[in-house]
């Protein structure tokens, strides 16, 4: 459907903005120092229905709508299989400086601080219609023999005008072994882009949920590109 010029273009941009922000997000600013949304759940199992399991084995990405009562934004989760082992997946997921090379819509990623397994990263997204958005995230990473966890929260950026950023985002990666080979990756993102025109919220959220699968696919491709030996393993 072609939208008219003027107001139609602004509505189109609002939809696409929500779509790309959810897919790229890599808490309310007043709560940005607290644990990211959903962190209290990430150490639970990742139960799969028989259909979801079949879809994953076929190489598909499973999409889930995660309830978040009382929050203005939406939370979606994408699950997919990654090739290789924890070392390869961890190297790609935590390579924040090179996100522009493979993460959807990420134009720039500047690491401002690093301390152990934590990093503060400033992200710039390129969006349709010549628009862009910027925000500052704190990433917290953990790798054990059994899983990878990389969570993030949005940090305050007082110098940045409100019109150049988003209202809120947080989320996490959770990666575990899959019993049929490869790794099961769950990418969960909460995003509140701010004002969306009345009547387009559901459409924007639906588009955002669909685009989330690109994060899994691009990460999978990145692992195979950097570690060709993983092509011989399951989960690709």
Whether residue 84 contacts residue 233, with contact meaning beta carbons closer than 8 Å, is answered with: yes
Task: Provide the pLDDT for residue 132.
Answer: 82
- Going by C-alpha positions, the residue among 107, 129, 123, 173 that lies closest to residue 13 is 129
Q: How far apart are CA 83 and CA 182, in angstroms?
A: 5
**How confident is the model over 134-182, as pLDDT tens digits?**
999 999 999 999 999 999 999 999 998 888 888 888 999 999 999 888 9
Tokens of 217: 């696919």
Whether residue 193 contacts residue 18, with contact meaning beta carbons closer than 8 Å, is answered with: yes
Task: Provide the pLDDT for residue 43.
Answer: 46
pLDDT at 198 over 80: no
Q: Which CATH number fits domain 7-40+50-232: 3.40.190.10, 1.10.10.10, 1.10.150.120, 3.30.530.20?
A: 3.30.530.20
**Choice between 220 and 130, residue whose per-residue pLDDT is larger:** 220
| pTM, entire model | 0.79
Report the relative pairing of strands 62-66 and 74-82 from DSSP bridges.
antiparallel
Task: Provide the pLDDT for residue 227.
Answer: 96
Q: How far apart are CA 120 and CA 152, in angstroms?
A: 9
pLDDT at 192 over 60: yes
Q: How far apart are CA 152 and CA 101, in angstroms?
A: 20
């Amino acid at each position: 459907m072609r939208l008219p010029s003027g107001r139609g273009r602004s509505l189109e941009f609002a939809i696409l903005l929500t779509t790309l922000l959810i897919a790229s997000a890599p808490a309310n600013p007043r709560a940005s120092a607290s644990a990211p949304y959903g962190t209290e759940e990430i150490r639970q199992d990742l139960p799969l229905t028989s259909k979801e399991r079949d879809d994953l084995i076929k190489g598909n990405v499973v999409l889930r709508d995660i309830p978040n009562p009382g929050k203005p934004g939406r939370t979606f989760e994408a699950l997919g299989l990654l090739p290789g082992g924890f070392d390869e997946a961890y190297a790609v997921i935590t390579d924040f400086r090179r996100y522009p090379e493979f993460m959807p819509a990420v134009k720039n990623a500047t690491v401002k601080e690093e301390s152990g397994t934590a990093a503060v990263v400033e992200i710039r997204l390129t969006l349709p219609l010549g628009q862009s958005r910027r925000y500052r995230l704190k990433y917290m990473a953990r790798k054990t023999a059994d899983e990878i966890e990389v969570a993030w929260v949005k940090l305050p950026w007082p110098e940045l005008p409100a019109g150049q950023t988003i209202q809120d985002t947080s989320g996490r990666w959770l990666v575990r072994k899959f019993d049929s080979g490869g790794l099961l990756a769950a990418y969960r993102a909460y995003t509140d882009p701010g004002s969306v025109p009345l009547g387009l919220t559901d459409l924007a959220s639906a588009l955002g949920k669909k685009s989330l699968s690109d994060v899994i696919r691009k990460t999978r491709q990145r692992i195979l590109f950097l570690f060709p030996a993983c092509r011989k393993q399951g989960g690709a």
